[in-house]
Chains A and B, each alone.
Chain A
Amino acid sequence: MRNTAMNMVHKLAARDERVLYIGSDPGAGTLRAMSKEFPKRHLIEGISESHIIGMSAGLAMEGFVPYVNTIATFLTRRCYEQVAVDLCLHNLPVRLIANGGGLVYAPLGPTHQAIEDIAIMRALPNMTVVCPCDADEAARMMDKTLDWTGPIYIRLGKGGDAVVSKAEHGFEIGKAILMRPPGDVLMVTTGIMLQRAIAAADLLAAQGVRAGILHMHTVKPLDTEALLQAIRGIKLVATLEEHVPSGGLGSAVAETLIDKLGSGLPAMLRLSLPDRFMHNYGSQDSLLKKHGLAPNAIATSIEHALAASRTSAPQLHST
């Protein structure tokens, strides 16, 4: 996914002279081909994220479309004020390509694990937040970023994620993709939780539980229309995210349902990471498994929540 997104910057640069790549101190050879073809538009500016965001704002004020790239935690935590003031307040078309969203950098510990990035980016007015699920979708997504108004936070997975998106789904920023029609359950996913949701849905189907999947690749602006359409007649909404419970996809879905439905809410299950820093290493997969976000655990949690929803008044579940 990462290489695909990077290569798309090169392709976009070939298509449009406004496109710049700005890296802090990325891996050796990042976008080498672009640096040879467009040396003036391939900028490496050092481990100075606060400055880079401000500089990108200045370039965007003059009509450029900078694609700023570094590790997700550094692109969000370090320079939050610059993102808020320089990019969002001015509503400038700067694209933040965040390597290693979620637990991609699991072995490197909590300084490198972006587990609250969606929440803090989503909180900012004018910011758009996009989390593609695989390389093919990342390519379709990048294609749509060129002319989008305002800043975009792009949360990338690690690469090598199973390709589950399909060309016929297309990609529009802010338009969710219904991957499976809703049954008793609707799973709402973002990023690489889609692959887990598909596997969980297969497990549930084997148990006779029909589970739909709404892939909410854009967490902000949330596709309210698609969500409200998909929950018609269902018994349980389950949100799946590689993120702390506060402020991410689950919060966005819950807020939307409360705002739009007021009463008569469906039962809801929010599956997420816990509200704490990870002090385990291992791998993205092993940490997701440890925190109940592997397909088996997802399916089991949904079965339990579904059973509870049948025997009690509507309630809000959370892990």
Chain B
Amino acid sequence: MIQISPHAEAALTCTLDERSLYLRRLVLGSVRSAGRGHVGPALSLIEIVRVLYDDILRIDPNNPRDPERDRAILSKGHGCLALYALLADRGFFPLSELDGFCGSDSILGGHPEYGMVPGVEASTGALGHGLSIGVGLALAARMRERNYRTFVLLGDGEINEGSVWEAAMGAAKHGLDNLVAMIDYNKLQSYGPTDYVLPLEPLADKWRSFGFAVQELNGHDVGALRTVLKQVPAVPGKPTAIICHTVKGKGLPAAESNADWHHKNKLSDSELDAIRVAVGDF
């Protein structure tokens, strides 16, 4: 029988602070404007992206291509609404851009594009690409004797892709301790539970056996994320995998653990009312 991680239980029950609610309002505002968006995958990701961009990444919104910056790749590109909210809030581009999400002249598409969106390191959306690119970035840092670090955010459904595990072997081969893989483990992919579609457990053991130092935490616990991320690499000489137990649609009761909210088209009036109750006026 599969043991439910205490981190997963904590993810279900933990409350969100005002900044997390504010970021959700930005995400849901984009969805309301566009009449579409991957809601569930963005809401599970918000605290991960928030802590990275608020507290961990050495980045400068005024110099987004600084050679010394830390690199972050959103390999689960469909979670881009969370990334866009953080990038806009941090000043990579104006907040008003969020209202244009998926518009014909917008810089913000349904998946993030390099060269279009300041702060986006790689075009993603096709799954299973980001960790390999991250291995290349991290290896380049090693070869060039640079100190930047590379963070790759992966979805749990995404790691169905075999290329992720090829990349994991490559990262371990090179001992890339400047590389951190963060798995948004919300346990629900497009069709339904990951356990039904393609079981991932024992997930931590998988990453360990592939040569990673593994940490597990509640991916909505901002403090825990800060603590773990400030201590990477978890083990010198090894890449780090952080399994972030999260809840798909976190913060929006109707959407939580509900595959119907993986991608959402037009929000109804009653849904908008429910969102206001959950995250505040937006």
A residues apposed to B, CB below 8 Å = 40-41, 45-46, 48, 50-64, 81-82, 85-86, 89-90
Is residue B190 contacting chain A, with contact meaning CB distance below 8 A? Answer: no
Task: Report chain A residues within 8 Å CB of B166.
Answer: 46, 48, 50-51
* Closest B residue by C-beta to A44: B173
Report which of A58, A60, A81, A89 forms a contact with B135, defined as CB distance below 8 A: A58
Q: Could you pull out 10 A-B pairs where Cβ atoms are within 8 angstroms?
A: A48-B169, A51-B167, A52-B132, A54-B131, A55-B136, A58-B132, A58-B138, A59-B137, A59-B140, A90-B122
Q: Cβ of B272: which chain A residues have Cβ within 8 Å of it?
A: none
A82/B163 in contact, CB under 8 A: yes
Apart from A58-B136, A60-B136, A61-B133, what are 11 other A-B pairs with CB-CB below 8 Å? A40-B143, A46-B169, A50-B166, A51-B166, A51-B170, A54-B131, A58-B132, A58-B133, A58-B138, A59-B137, A86-B129
Contact with A along B207-250 (1 / 0, CB 8 A): 00000000000000000000000000000000000000000000
Q: In the bound complex, do residue A61 and residue B122 qualify as a contact, i.e. CB atoms below 8 Å apart?
A: yes
A59 to B140, CA, bound (A): 6
- Contact between B144 and A55 (Cβ–Cβ < 8 Å)? no
Contacts of B141 in A (CB 8 A): 62
Q: State whether B133 touches A50 (Cβ < 8 A).
A: no
How long is the Cα–Cα vector from A48 to B165 in the complex, in angstroms? 10
B162 at the interface (CB under 8 A from A): yes
Q: Fill in one digit per residue for B145-173: 1 if any A CB lies within 8 Å of its CB, else 0.
A: 00000000000000000110011011001
Name the residue among A62, A81, A82 with the largest chain B CB count within 10 angstroms: A62
**Contact (A51, B163) CB under 8 Å given A58-B139, A85-B126, A90-B122:** yes
Cα separation A82 to B135 with both chains bound (whole Å): 14
Nearest-Cβ distance from residue A255 to partner chain B, whole angstroms:
28
* A58 in contact with B123 given A46-B169, A50-B128 (CB within 8 Å): no
Name the A residues within 8 Å of B173 (CB-CB): 45-46
B114 within 8 A of A: yes
* Contact in complex: A50, B132 (CB < 8 Å): yes
CA distance A150 to B222 in the complex (A): 41
Partner of A85, one of B121, B123, B140: B123
Contacts of B144 in A (CB 8 A): 62
Say yes or no for B79: interface residue by CB 8 A criterion. Answer: no
Interchain CB contact under 8 A, A61 and B170:
no
Q: Is B134 at the interface (CB under 8 A from chain A)?
A: yes
Is A58 in contact with B143, judged by CB distance below 8 angstroms? no
Residue of A nearest to B161 (CB): A50
List, in ascending order, chain B residues with CB within 8 A of A40's CB: 143
Chain B contacts for A46, CB-based, 8 A: 166, 169-170, 173
Q: Closest CB-CB distance, B169 to chain A, in whole Å?
A: 7
Q: Is the CB of B126 within 8 A of A58?
A: no
Given contacts A48-B169, A48-B170, A82-B163, contact A54 B126 (CB under 8 A): no
Docked pose: A59 CA to B123 CA in angstroms: 15
Q: A46-B169, A48-B170, A82-B129 in contact; A57/B136 too (CB < 8 A)?
A: yes
**Smallest CB-CB separation from A89: which chain B residue?**
B123
Contacts of A58 in B (CB 8 A): 132-140
A54 touches B135 (CB 8 A): yes
Interface residues in B85-136 by Cβ distance below 8 A to A read 114-115, 121-123, 125-126, 128-136
Considering the chains assembled together, what is the distance between the CA atoms of A40 and B140 in angstroms?
11
Output the least CB separation between B59 and chain A (Å): 16
| CB-CB nearest in chain A for B168 | A51
CA distance A54 to B162 in the complex (A): 13
State A82–B136 Cα separation when bound (angstroms).
13
> In the complex, what residues of B have CB within 8 A of residue A45's CB?
170, 173
CA–CA, A45 and B114, complex, Å: 26
Point out the residues of chain A lying under 8 angstroms from B134, CB to CB: 58
Shortest Cβ distance from A84 into B: residue: B126
A43 to B125, CA, bound (A): 28
* In-complex Cβ contact of B167 among A55, A63, A64 (8 A): A55
| Residues of A close to B128: CB separation below 8 A | 50
Interchain residue pairs A-B with the least CB separation, the first 7: A58-B136, A54-B132, A62-B140, A51-B166, A48-B166, A50-B163, A55-B136
When the two chains form the complex, which single residue of B115, B121, B126 contacts A81, counting CB atoms closer than 8 Å? B126
**B129 and A59 within 8 A (CB):** no
- A52-B163 Cα distance, complex, nearest whole Å: 9
* Chain B residue contacts of A85, Cβ below 8 A: 123, 125-126, 129
B173-191 vs A: 1/0 string, CB under 8 Å? 1000000000000000000
Pair B123/A56 contact, Cβ less than 8 Å:
no
Give the residue among B123, B125, B133, B162 with the most A Cβ atoms within 10 A: B133
Report the bound CA distance from A72 to B167 in whole Å.
21
- B175 CB to nearest chain A CB (Å): 14
Q: Are B170 and A86 in contact (CB under 8 A)?
A: no
A41 vs B170: C-alpha distance when bound (angstroms): 15
Give the distance to chain B from A17, nearest Cβ to Cβ, in Å.
Answer: 10
Q: With A and B bound together, what is the CA distance between A55 and B167 in angstroms?
A: 8
Q: Once bound together, how far apart are the Cα atoms of A52 and B140, in whole Å?
A: 14
